[in-house]
A = this chain, B = another copy of it.
Amino acid sequence: MDLEAILDGVFGDVSDHIGEGKVADYIPALAKIDPRKFGMAVATVDGGIVTLGDAGEPFSIQSVSKVFTLTLALGRVGEGLWKRVGREPSGTPFNSIVQLEHEHGIPRNPFINAGAIVVADTLLSGHEPRETLGEVLSFMRHIAGDETIVIDREVARSEQQTGFRNAALANYMFAFSNIHNPVEKTLGVYFHQCALSMSCVQLARAGLFLANRGRLASGHSVVSAERARRINALMLTCGHYDASGDFAFRVGLPGKSGVGGGILCIAPGKAAIAVWSPGLNANGNSAAGTRAMESFARRSGWSIFG
**Chain A interface (Cβ within 8 Å of chain B)?**
86-92, 96-102, 108-109, 164-165, 167-172, 174-175, 183, 210-213, 225, 228-230, 232-234, 236-238, 242-246, 248-249, 252, 254, 266, 268-269, 303-306
Determine which of B86, B89, B98, B230 lies in contact with A89 in the assembled complex, contact meaning CB atoms within 8 Å.
B89
* Residues in chain B near residue A164, CB distance under 8 A: 171-172, 174-175, 183
A305 touches B232 (CB 8 A): yes
* Residues in chain B near residue A269, CB distance under 8 A: 306
A210 touches B306 (CB 8 A): yes
Q: List 26 A-B contacts (CB under 8 A).
A: A87-B245, A88-B89, A91-B91, A91-B108, A97-B172, A98-B101, A98-B102, A164-B174, A165-B171, A167-B168, A167-B171, A168-B168, A168-B171, A210-B306, A229-B303, A229-B305, A233-B248, A233-B249, A234-B248, A234-B249, A236-B305, A237-B248, A237-B249, A266-B306, A269-B306, A304-B305
A306 touches B242 (CB 8 A): no
Dominant secondary structure of chain A at its interface with chain B: helix
Q: How far is the CA of A183 from the CA of B164 in the complex (A)?
A: 9
A168 touches B245 (CB 8 A): no
* Residues in chain B near residue A303, CB distance under 8 A: 229
Q: A98-B102, A109-B245 are in contact. Are A304 and B234 (CB under 8 A)?
A: no
* Residues in chain B near residue A228, CB distance under 8 A: 305-306
